[in-house]
Structure 1
Amino acid sequence: MNRGAKGRVMIKAVFIDYTGTTVKEDGEEIRDVVKRVCHNSDLHDPQAVLALWWKRMKQYEENSYGENYLTEDEIVDKILQSLVVEIHLKENLRELHVLIRRSWVCAPAFPDAKEFFEKCPVPIYMISNNGIEYVKKGMEDKQLQPEAIICADMVRAYKPHRELFERALEVSGCGADEVLHIGDSYSSDVLGARAAAIQPVLVQRTKGKTYDDVMTVQDLSEVLHLLDWGEAI
């Protein structure tokens, strides 16, 4: 265990979530998908469509593990097919899937992401449930350069399973007490990081449910202050 002069654990790397933390979830492509689903199904409320989509996504990710692992592309296919039955979706499913793939690459970065990547004093490792090919292209699209990208496909498990975080520790060469994990989801990022004994930081850019048991920030720039140029608070 490495400690600074004040006896605090030295932070040697930062792990950060991709969708919802580094890049937005509501890019142009996703808005187009939601609009088409609303116009061509029994569900006409955009918020209801998004709620149903994320509910199904979480269900598939929770049950997708090891021998039962499904890629995000396979999950998207299954969800789209289920919507045909569940809400009588009448659409070109291939076109919708292409738009969703494009959103994984082209969704805009949050305004604070570029500054964070430029000023972070330690290496940044991207951790994502998305396939690595999409995250790599997304980083190139945003001109952001993480030290490495660790994706669910590599361990056949999604967050909050600890395998994804443990692989990131292996790749970074750091101990669990030498990194922070930044994410926007309590259930995926906070609980997943804790499962691997990593200190989580929850990003809540807008008002929502509050959590008293985790360090919370509204902006990635706040994490720079937490790092204190190499030391955690």
Structure 2
Amino acid sequence: MVRGLLLDFYGTVVEDDDALVAAIAARVAAGASTPVTAEAVAAAWMREYTTVAEGPPFRLLRDSAPESLARVMAEVGCPGDPAALYAAETARWGPPALRPGTREFLAGLRLPVCVVSDADRADLAAVVAHHGLTFTAVVTSEDVRAYKPDGAMFRRALAALGLAADEVLHVGDSLRTDVEGAHAAGIRAVWVNRHGTPAPAGAPVSHEITDLTGLAAIIR
């Protein structure tokens, strides 16, 4: 019996920052002295982003994003201030939109929900307030000083709801951080497969949905 939900936020509750990343990558690629595609810049940036943020030492995303972007810009010979570029594009895009079905699903939900997010707390709180959302609890990497798939994130969320691992589902769009992280913590994982990508063989996916409306039948 499902008595509570753990929800990833970006890519699950609201849209991910794919468009923002693509826009910044396109500007870097256009200004690079070395021929490079925007897709290659985006991929390199996300690899550096993860490396910088996860450390050691642990770094907030607001610090990790411009630092990792600076490394990629230097590699491809793109001049300019990475922090200013990142800040300007972030402001231009504004808060991410809710994913399809999110508001309808949450409005009809009667289970306690803990958001489990790798976002910095202030940034996440601003988006939650922007959309007028309410959750039972919120656990961020800034609180725990670790990023998913670290088990500390999931243990903190279970404690926040006062529930055991076998009483909840964790719902998220990342196979590595959400699905594998939850599975390692003894929690069943629901994969939000936004792009219809086939799951790798052996991936510990308990259920697969395209958006939160698909959860209704699972937790009924």
Bin of the TM-score, shorter chain as denominator length? 0.7 to 0.9
CA distance in 2 between counterparts of 1:106 and 1:15 reads 22
**Cα distance change of structure 1 residues 176 and 226 upon mapping to structure 2, 3 Å threshold:** same
Cα displacement (A) at 1:60: 2.9
Alignment match of 1:118 (pick from 103, 107, 111) = 107
Once the two structures are superposed, residues 120-160 of structure 1 have per-residue CA deviations (whole angstroms, 9 ceiling, x without a partner) of 22022111111010111111112222222110011111000
Contact 1:169/1:175 (CA < 8 Å) preserved in 2?
Answer: yes
CA distance in 1 between counterparts of 2:89 and 2:157 reads 26
Alignment partner, residue 11 of structure 1: 2
- Name whichever of 147-156 and 204-213 sits farther off: 204-213
**Cα distance change of structure 1 residues 37 and 163 upon mapping to structure 2, 3 Å threshold:** same
Once the two structures are superposed, residues 97-122 of structure 1 have per-residue CA deviations (whole angstroms, 9 ceiling, x without a partner) of 32465489601121221112112220
Contact 2:121/2:142 (CA < 8 Å) preserved in 1?
Answer: yes
* Counterpart residue type for residue 55 of structure 2: N
TM-score normalised over the length of structure 1? 0.83
SS in 2 for 1:107: coil
* Counterpart residue type for residue 199 of structure 1: R
Cα displacement (A) at 1:77: 2.8
Alignment partner, residue 22 of structure 1: 13
Alignment partner, residue 195 of structure 1: 184
RMSD over aligned Cα atoms: 2.2
Alignment match of 2:149 (pick from 156, 160, 171) = 160
Alignment partner, residue 215 of structure 2: 223
Alignment partner, residue 30 of structure 2: 39
CA distance in 2 between counterparts of 1:143 and 1:181 reads 22
SS in 1 for 2:196: coil
Alignment size in residue pairs: 216
Structure ranking higher on relative contact order (CA contacts 8 Å, 6+ apart): 1
Cα displacement (A) at 1:74: 2.1
1:61-80 equivalent positions in 2, closer than 5 A: 61-64=53-56, 68-80=57-69
* Counterpart residue type for residue 147 of structure 2: Y
Identity within the alignment, %:
26
* Counterpart residue type for residue 156 of structure 2: R
Cα displacement (A) at 1:161: 0.4
Alignment partner, residue 51 of structure 1: 43
**Cα distance change of structure 1 residues 100 and 173 upon mapping to structure 2, 3 Å threshold:** farther
Contact 2:191/2:209 (CA < 8 Å) preserved in 1?
Answer: yes
